[in-house]
C-alpha cells in the first residue's frame, strides 16, 4: 500500500476513533447531568416531604373527613349513620326550620361584626404604624402595641369581661352605669374594642414594615413641596401601601369571620342571641346538640362564603390600585 494511502487510512481511522470518543464523552456527560438532575429532584422532594406529610395529616385529611361527615347523619358517638347526601346542605337553603333560621341569623350577626371590625382593624393599625414611624423610640412603641397579641383568646375575653362588667373597672373609674355586656349596642362595642385591642399589634407590625419600605425620595419631595404629615399620609403613604393593605384586610376578614372566644366568654352570645356568631352556632350544633353532620355542612358553607368575600375584596382593591 502506498504511503499516502496508508496515511489517509490512518487519519480516517483516527478521526473515527476521535468521533467515537467524543460521542461516548457526550453520552457520559448527559448521563452525569441526568443523574445530577435526579439527585437534585430527589433532594427537592426530601425538603418538601415533611411539609407535604403535615399538610396531608393536618389539612387534607381533616377536610376529606369533614366532607364525609357532612354527607352523613352523624352524632359523633355512634359513628357514621345513614348517608344523607346533600340533604344537610339543602336544608340550610330550603328549610324554614329553627336550625336553618338560626344559621342565617348568626351569619347576619357575623357579617355585622365583620363590617364593623375589618375597617377598624385596618385603619387604626395603619394610623398607629405611621405615628410610630414618625416618633422616636420606635422599638419601644412597637413592643407596647404588640404585647396584647401574646395573650390567649380566653385571657382576652376574661380580662375585658372583668373590665366591662356592671361593677367592673371601666364603670367604677369613670363613674358610669353602662351595661356593656348585656345590652345593645354596647355588647357589640365591647367585643369590637376587645378584638381591636388584642389583634392591633399584628396588623400594626405589617403596616409599619410596609411604611418603612416607602422610598425616601417620595417623602422628601413631598416634604419640600410643603406637605404636612397628614398630607404625606393621605397622598404618599396610603397609595404606596395598597398591596399590603389588601393582605391586612383579607386576613382581618378571615379572623373576624371566625369570631368565637370573645363573644362566647364576654357575652355568651347575648343579650338573647344578638352577639351569637356563626362559629358559635356551628360549635353548639356539633357539641351541644351532637349533630356533627349538620355542623360540618354549616362549616363548609361558611368557608365558601368566606372564600367569595375574600376574592371580592381582592378584586375590588386590585382594581382600585390599577386605576
Q: What is the pLDDT of residues 7-44, one digit of tens each?
A: 555 455 554 555 555 565 565 666 666 766 677 777 77
Give the DSSP letter string of 43-78. Answer: HHHHHHHHHHHHHIIIIIHHHHHHHHHHTEEE-SSS
Kindly state the DSSP code that residue 150 receives in the 8-state scheme.
Answer: G
**pLDDT (average), residues 89-109:** 86
Residue 74, strand partner residues: 80
Q: Which CATH superfamily is domain 95-322 in?
A: MetI-like (1.10.3720.10)
Per-residue pLDDT at 319 exceeds 80: no
Kindly state the DSSP code that residue 148 receives in the 8-state scheme.
Answer: G
pLDDT number for residue 302 = 92
Where do runs of H (alpha helix) occur along 227-291? 229-232, 238-240, 242-257, 261-266, 278-287
Q: Cα(279)–Cα(38) distance, rounded to whole angstroms?
A: 47
Average pLDDT, the chain: 84
Q: What is the pLDDT of residues 273-311, one digit of tens each?
A: 899 999 999 999 988 888 888 899 999 999 999 889 888
What pTM does this model have?
0.80
Q: What is the pLDDT of residues 145-186, one digit of tens each?
A: 999 999 999 999 999 999 998 888 999 998 888 999 999 899
229 in Cβ contact with 133 (< 8 Å)? no
Task: Name the strand (E) or helix (H) holding 83.
Answer: strand 80-83
> Of the candidates 108, 282, 259, 139, which has an alpha carbon nearest to the alpha carbon of residue 198?
259
Half-sphere exposure of 52 (CA within 13 A, CB side): 6
pLDDT number for residue 108 = 92
Establish whether the linkage from the previous residue to 271 is cis, with ω within 30° of 0: yes
Give the Cβ contact number of residue 277 at 10 Å. 27
Structural domain spans, the chain: 3-70, 95-322
Amino acid at each position: 500500500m502506498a504511503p499516502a494511502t496508508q496515511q489517509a487510512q490512518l487519519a480516517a481511522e483516527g478521526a473515527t476513533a476521535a468521533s467515537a470518543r467524543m460521542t461516548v464523552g457526550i453520552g457520559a456527560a448527559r448521563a452525569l447531568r441526568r443523574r445530577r438532575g435526579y439527585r437534585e429532584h430527589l433532594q427537592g422532594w426530601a425538603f418538601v416531604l415533611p411539609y407535604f406529610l403535615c399538610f396531608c395529616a393536618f389539612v387534607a385529611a381533616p377536610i376529606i373527613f369533614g366532607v364525609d361527615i357532612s354527607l352523613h347523619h352523624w352524632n359523633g358517638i355512634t359513628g357514621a349513620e345513614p348517608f344523607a347526601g346533600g340533604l344537610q346542605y339543602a336544608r340550610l337553603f330550603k328549610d324554614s326550620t329553627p336550625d336553618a333560621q338560626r344559621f342565617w341569623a348568626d351569619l347576619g350577626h357575623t357579617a355585622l361584626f365583620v363590617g364593623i371590625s375589618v375597617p377598624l382593624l385596618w385603619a387604626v393599625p395603619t394610623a398607629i404604624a405611621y405615628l410610630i414611624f414618625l416618633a422616636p423610640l420606635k422599638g419601644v412603641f412597637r413592643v407596647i402595641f404588640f404585647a396584647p397579641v401574646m395573650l390567649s383568646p380566653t385571657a382576652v375575653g376574661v380580662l375585658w369581661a372583668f373590665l366591662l362588667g356592671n361593677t367592673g373597672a371601666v364603670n367604677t373609674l369613670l363613674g358610669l352605669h353602662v351595661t356593656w355586656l348585656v345590652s345593645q349596642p354596647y355588647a357589640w362595642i365591647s367585643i369590637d374594642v376587645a378584638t381591636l385591642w388584642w389583634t392591633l399589634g399584628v396588623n400594626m407590625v405589617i403596616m409599619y414594615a410596609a411604611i418603612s419600605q416607602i422610598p425616601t425620595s417620595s417623602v422628601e419631595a413631598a416634604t419640600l413641596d410643603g406637605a404636612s404629615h397628614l398630607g404625606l399620609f393621605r397622598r404618599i403613604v396610603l397609595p404606596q401601601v395598597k398591596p399590603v393593605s389588601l393582605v391586612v384586610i383579607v386576613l382581618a376578614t378571615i379572623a373576624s369571620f371566625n369570631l368565637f372566644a370573645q363573644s362566647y366568654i364576654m357575652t355568651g352570645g347575648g343579650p338573647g342571641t344578638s352577639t351569637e356568631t356563626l362559629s358559635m352556632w356551628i360549635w353548639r350544633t356539633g357539641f351541644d346538640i351532637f349533630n356533627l353532620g349538620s355542623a360540618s355542612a354549616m362549616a363548609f358553607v361558611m368557608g365558601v362564603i368566606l372564600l367569595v368575600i375574600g376574592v371580592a375584596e381582592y378584586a375590588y382593591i386590585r382594581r382600585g390600585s390599577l386605576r
